[in-house]
Chains A and B, each alone.
Chain A
């Protein structure tokens, strides 16, 4: 019964919406960028238009056509209307104008667009939609938003705002599931010593993703082997992120492992390695928005009070208005690191 009460209590925690707002802004910005690229490259009709209008997919010819082309005309104009609507909703989500409605409508629209030409819909698009569903149920617009500005007169909203923390906890879980499932799926021999740890090298030579000249790649082959091992270990180690979050929030409890995790800032090291990994893959592989959309989830791992502390510290260094107050608040939070869930 105690464990059950703990479980229920965990999903009933409340906190400031700062971390969720950062995820909202970053994820919407990534999405907006992606849609802008579609428009810039004039790919709206090929990717999202019906066959009869010049699209590569044939959504209207399926047994169950997407609702999108029952509501909109199956024409070029219909495709443009859908993509422009997605861009507008991304923008309203980013600035925090009716963010929950924007996220909900956006996820439904993006799911419909995904049905038009399924091969053009990638794994990262699914991650974006998963995140949007969580954001649609969250109060991510209570701070750093136009909505907050209109309601309270401040972009930051109410300083003492408390909102349900479960959406942020779900986003942390999503990140862990993404990494761990990706790690466990890596069963090809090339990810193991039997295949000479050659997976990263082979992936980087794939013409669909390659960025680096093969001759150069041959010269740094041992580095790619090291990268293969590191990627594999790091992805398999993703559940440790949950443990590190738990230890961070219960620093006063006993245990050597807890003390060690907190002393070396395991959580921060893990995320730093992740950030380096994503930036590295962006520089060495053509992965589109993948690295940025995953990095957009990272703010969820940090507690709202951590963001406030860093914000206060930054304002203190810059000497801007409210610098002293911000830095002071940051120090106060430092004195009580267990505030805020996980």
Chain B
């Protein structure tokens, strides 16, 4: 078969039409449109970006304030969001059934205020012992908490102003696992340490901040065992 010569019959044309529709929808989904919302702008990285862009535009001779940058960014974001929704609406049922899509923001905004998951435990009146401090942590607990799917539960917890229900469930699950492995511990703390990452020579980093700390008690999570027979 030579290039540009479809086979006989109607099917090659129908198939090419179907593939074209699929390609159009997938490419529309993949378009990295700036879908910005007011919620996104609360994020420290977004605020830093707004600051940088305002300064940059001013340096280039464009007179614009931070508020105007935000206003225009939101207007663009709303437009882009509307376009994406309109194009993709017919595909939503299929996307839900197949779990497919084309959102590929891989490290689009590397996080200078990154969250470090920390798990500590202690016996009553004992000293705190660090059991996991991402990415370091030995044994089964460390392996499980580093597993990519588990990491997905907590790796953006530092971005959220409120911890949410999932964080509470996660914290209780981690504590239950620790109590099962370490009968000597009575309390477990699960928290996020927000660290400020600056490249070498980038100035002084902000001090670490503790986020979403939760204290879990063995007495609340592990049912008391039956008294031993005399």
A interface with B by C-beta (< 8 Å): 2, 5-14, 37-38, 41-43, 46-47, 51, 56-57, 107-108, 110-111, 114-115, 117, 119-123, 125-126, 129-130, 133, 166, 170, 173, 177-178, 180-182, 184-191, 194-196, 198-203, 205-211, 218, 221, 286-290
Query: Residues of B contacting A185 with CB < 8 Å?
Result: 32, 104-106, 108
Asked if A11 contacts B12 (CB within 8 A), the reply is: yes
Chain A residue at smallest Cβ distance from B118: A207
Q: Contacts A13-B1, A123-B104, A173-B23 hold; do A111 and B110 have CB atoms under 8 A apart?
A: no
State the 6 A-B residue pairs at the shortest beta-carbon distance, nearest first.
A288-B148, A111-B99, A6-B4, A207-B116, A208-B155, A202-B110
Instruction: Report the bound CA distance from A178 to B102 in whole Å.
Output: 7
With A111-B96, A129-B98, A184-B32 given, can you name 15 additional A-B contacts, CB distance below 8 Å?
A: A56-B169, A57-B166, A120-B152, A126-B100, A166-B15, A178-B102, A181-B102, A190-B110, A207-B116, A208-B117, A208-B134, A209-B155, A210-B134, A288-B149, A288-B151
Return chain A residues, CB-CB under 8 Å to B1.
9, 12-14
B58 to chain A, nearest CB (A): 13
Residue-by-residue, is B87-105 near A (CB-CB < 8 Å gives 1, otherwise 0)? 0000000001111111111
Closest to B56 in A: A194
Quick one: CB contact mask for B16-29 with A, threshold 8 Å, 1 for yes?
10011001001100
CB within 8 Å for A203 and B148 given contacts A9-B3, A133-B98: no
Q: Is the CB–CB distance between B98 and A202 below 8 Å?
A: no
> A200–B97 Cα gap in the complex (Å)?
35
Q: Would you call B7 and A12 a contact (CB within 8 A)? A: yes
Contact B6 A47 (CB under 8 A): no
- The one of A37, A209, A221 in contact with B199, judged by C-beta atoms closer than 8 angstroms, is A221
Residues of A close to B154: CB separation below 8 A: 208
Residues of chain A within 8 A of B103, CB atoms compared: 123, 126
Q: Closest Cβ of chain B: how far from A52's Cβ, in Å?
A: 12
Measured CB to CB, the nearest residue on chain A to B140 is A41
Are A289 and B148 in contact, CB atoms less than 8 angstroms apart? yes
A201 touches which of B6, B144, B151, B199 (Cβ 8 Å): B199
Residues of B within 8 A of A (CB): 1-7, 12-13, 15-16, 19-20, 23, 26-27, 30-32, 34, 45, 48-49, 52, 56, 96-112, 114-117, 133-135, 140, 143-144, 146-155, 166, 169-170, 173, 195, 197, 199-200, 202
By a CB distance below 8 angstroms, the chain A residues around B7 are: 12
Q: Inside 8 A of B115's CB, which chain A residues have their CB?
A: 207-208
Which residues does chain B contribute within 8 Å of A130, judged by CB atoms?
Answer: 100-102
CB-based contact B105/A182 at 8 Å: yes
Which residues of the other chain, B, contact A43 by a CB distance below 8 angstroms? Answer: 144, 147, 149-150
> Which residue of B is nearest A287, CB measured?
B148
Q: List the count of A-B residue pairs having beta carbons below 8 Å apart.
A: 210
Bound: A33/B149 CA distance, A: 14
Contact residue among A5, A173, A194 (Cβ-Cβ distance under 8 Å from B4) = A5
In the docked arrangement, what's the CA distance between A143 and B83, Å?
Answer: 43
A265 to B15, CA, bound (A): 32
CB distance from A129 to the nearest CB of B (A): 5
- A interface, over-half SS: helix
**Closest chain B residue, CB of each to CB of A14:** B1
Q: Which residues of B lie under 8 Å from residue A206 when comparing CB positions?
A: 110-111, 114, 197
User: In the assembled complex, which residues on chain A have CB atoms less than 8 Å from the CB atom of B49?
Assistant: 188-189
A206 to B115: give the CA distance in the assembly, Å: 7
Cα A173 to Cα B20 in complex, Å, equals 12
Distance of A203 Cα from B114 Cα, bound (Å): 9
Roughly how many angstroms separate A6 CA and B3 CA in the complex, as a whole number?
A: 7
If the complex has contacts A13-B1, A182-B105, A206-B114, are A46 and B173 also in contact, measured as CB distance less than 8 A?
A: yes
Residues of A within 8 A of B32 (CB): 181, 184-185, 187
Asked if B135 and A211 make an inter-chain contact with CB atoms under 8 angstroms apart, the answer reads yes
The answer to whether B100 touches A38 (Cβ under 8 A) is no
* B202 CB to nearest chain A CB (Å): 7
Taking CB atoms, residues of chain B closer than 8 Å to A41 are: 140, 143-144, 147
Query: Which residues of chain B come closer than 8 Å to A202, judged between CB atoms?
Result: 110-112, 114, 197, 199
Assess the A119–B152 pair: CB atoms within 8 A. Answer: yes
What are 6 of the A-B contact pairs (CB < 8 Å)? Answer: A12-B15, A129-B99, A198-B110, A199-B107, A202-B112, A206-B110
A81 to B197 CA separation, bound complex (whole angstroms): 43
**A207, B134: Cβ atoms under 8 Å?**
yes
- Chain B residues, Cβ within 8 Å of A2: 4
**How far is it, in angstroms, between the C-alpha of A340 and the C-alpha of B143 when the chains are bound?**
46
CB pair B110 A196 closer than 8 Å: no
Contact A286 B102 (CB under 8 A): no
Q: How far is the CB of A275 from chain B (nearest CB, A)?
A: 17
Determine the chain B residues whose CB is within 8 A of the CB of A7 once the complex forms: 16, 20
A181 with B134: CB separation less than 8 A: no
CB distance from A296 to the nearest CB of B (A): 16
Task: Give A5 to B1 CA distance when docked, in angstroms.
Answer: 13
Query: Whose C-beta in chain B lies nearest to the C-beta of A67?
Result: B97
Can you name the residue of chain B whose Cβ is closest to the Cβ of A118? B152
- Contacts A56-B166, A133-B98; A203 near B147 (Cβ below 8 A): no
**Complex: A205 Cα to B197 Cα, angstroms:** 7
Q: Is the CB of B52 within 8 A of A189?
A: yes
- In the bound assembly, the distance between CA atoms of A41 and B109 in angstroms comes to 31
Residue in contact with A196 in the complex, picked from B105, B111, B199, CB distance below 8 Å: B199
